Amino acid sequence: MTEASMIGLLVATVSFGALLYLAALGELISEKAGVLNLGVEGMMAMGAVSAFMAAHQTGNPWIGLAVGVLAGALTGFLHGWFTVVLGAEQVVSGLSLTILGLGFAAYMGKNVVGRPPGGVLAPVDWGPLTDIPWAGPVLFGQAPFVYLAVLAGLATWFVLSRTRIGLALRAAGESASTADAAGHSVVGLRLGAVVVGGGLAGASGAYLTLTLTPQWAEGITAGRGWIALALVVFASWRPSRVLLGAILFGGITILQLNAQAAGLGIPGAFMSMLPYIATIVVLVLISRDAIRIRLNAPACLGKPFRAER
């Protein structure tokens, strides 16, 4: 393998890692507040089709991104309304929204399948920085979404660990009754967390149709929302580890795509399963350490809350 090929693999790994990172960050924020969101895949699909359609109509990919984030946030609001406000079962609501999101996105986008994008968020030109050997293309040859993902990760870490609202949000996930007794609105915190998480999932979907594969097709998310869910468990609910996991699984995805292109004689169906097989293997290995999971997972994750006052 040539040096250029290796650099190309690293660039693509970071690109696909950022896609997973955005969605996984959204799930992390939601789970930190105590809400399990299995609707990430549907929120990504809604963000993807909304962003593509908006960019196609306006010719402005930034408007497409804003619309994609809004679509994901609104879908997240639905999940939050059902589970946080109405007290519906979180697993059922999340799965229902995944099915709804995928189906509604396919319906919305049926007239733009195969059409050219109205605008693409291409890699940023950093001038001489891009010419630095190896590090230049990998770090300074990426699309704006990658840098937005890094900023979102830093903001998530800072808010969760260094601010009062982050402390209150974590309290809502660890002991909702204690947070309520301290005067915090558990419903407001959880609803806000799910909406922000949905917005990040929508941004991840927009990344697909505005940069990585600038087109719309039914099923374009291809199960990546489920990988994002697994990444949160893999990372033990820590933002820094989510980044490492996203890069790892981004690399696995790229290796799968390149192995297919290289014609190694391995069935294409098996190679397409590789990222998901890796996800299952990782989850099985992690689940063997039940004590670690109990120590790191938010204590009230998946549990509805009803204020006593």
How many whole angstroms separate alpha carbon 213 and alpha carbon 112?
14
State residue 178's pLDDT score: 92
Matching residue, tokens 């990040």: 200
Say if residue 104's pLDDT is above 70.
yes
How many whole angstroms separate alpha carbon 272 and alpha carbon 257?
8
- At residue 238, the 3 state secondary structure works out as coil
Question: 39: Cβ–Cβ under 8 A, 6 or more apart, which residues?
Answer: 75, 76, 79, 93, 94, 95, 96, 97, 98, 101, 198
What is the total count of domains within the chain? 1
Q: Where are the alpha helices (DSSP H) in the chain?
A: 3-32, 40-58, 61-80, 90-108, 135-140, 144-162, 164-174, 176-181, 186-207, 224-234, 239-262, 268-287, 290-296
- At residue 99, the 3 state secondary structure works out as helix
Higher pLDDT, 5 or 182: 182
| Residue 82 falls inside a structural domain | yes
State residue 308's pLDDT score: 59
| Residue 169 falls inside a structural domain | yes
Query: pLDDT digits over 253-275, tens only?
Result: 888 777 666 666 666 666 677 77
| Residue 126 falls inside a structural domain | no
| Mean pLDDT, residues 79-84 | 96
State residue 37's pLDDT score: 96
Say if residue 284's pLDDT is above 90.
no
Q: What percent of the chain has pLDDT over 70?
A: 93
Host domain of residue 249: 7-120+143-296
| Residue 45 falls inside a structural domain | yes
State residue 162's pLDDT score: 94
| Residue 55 falls inside a structural domain | yes
| Residue 56 falls inside a structural domain | yes
State residue 86's pLDDT score: 93
239: closest CA among 24, 17, 16?
A: 24
Say what the pTM is: 0.93
Say if residue 39's pLDDT is above 90.
yes
| Mean pLDDT, residues 58-78 | 97
Q: Which of 42-46, 86-90, 297-301 has the highest mean pLDDT?
A: 42-46
Check which CATH number belongs to the domain holding 113 and give it.
1.10.3470
| Residue 31 falls inside a structural domain | yes
